Chain A
């Protein structure tokens, strides 16, 4: 019972490099989310996908893009990484129609140098 799986778990990038964070869920959830967690700031929503085929900006979308590849997968892309994007990134999913809570992955710790 995997739940929400994120890859990679750790990553170091140089400023200007690009990368994609992968997220997959096996709970047949229709909604998926990307958050970043920074000390003293809690979790802030970057992008979300209410259902397959739709994506919307959250609180802090600048510098990121997302793709809802199918119902299971929701990826987050950094086109040109900046030190300000050093953070821990969490993917989450839930099924809004059934009022389920959000289930979280284990996180990706990203450092941009």
Chain B
């Protein structure tokens, strides 16, 4: 069955430090890949997406993610975290040709001043 794993439930970093959030998926072919961010009480906002092509994708708010086919991973990175980045982050996959988005369980990011 298709699945998405975000192994870190909570991550705490200091403001200005670098960040990497992990995402692994289980699917036979290359799916469409997404990272969303959710601030408290809000809906989900797209940070970035990968459909094909360059495996390093740039998103909004200074985020980037790298697709690694050999590792079935799509990790999210940011070189310098800001206090406003504190939120919950969701990785999602959409197997090509279907209408379903499968979400990971999320990683809650806390930023220390």
Contacts and interface: CB of A to CB of B under 8 A. Distances in A.
B43 A105 contact: yes
Given A42-B90, A99-B32, A50 B43 contact: no
Nearest to B105: A42
Contacts of B112: none
Nearest to B102: A45
B104 interface: yes
Contacts of B44: 43, 90, 92, 104
Contacts of B31: none
Interface string A79-101: 00000000000101000100101
B48 to A, nearest CB: 9
Given A48-B100, A101-B34, A105-B43, A43 B90 contact: yes
Interface string B1-13: 0001000010000
Given A96-B99, A101-B34, A42 B106 contact: yes
A54 B103 CA distance: 23
A106 B32 contact: no
Contacts of A96: 99
Interface in B55-92: 90, 92
A11 B100 CA distance: 27
Interface string A36-47: 000011111100
A58 B41 CA distance: 24
Contacts of A44: 103
A92 B102 CA distance: 13
Contacts of B42: 106-107
B99 A50 contact: yes
Given A40-B9, A42-B104, A90-B44, A101 B49 contact: yes
5 contacts: A33-B101, A56-B99, A58-B100, A92-B44, A104-B44
Interface of B: 4, 9, 32, 34, 36, 41-46, 49, 51, 90, 92, 99-106
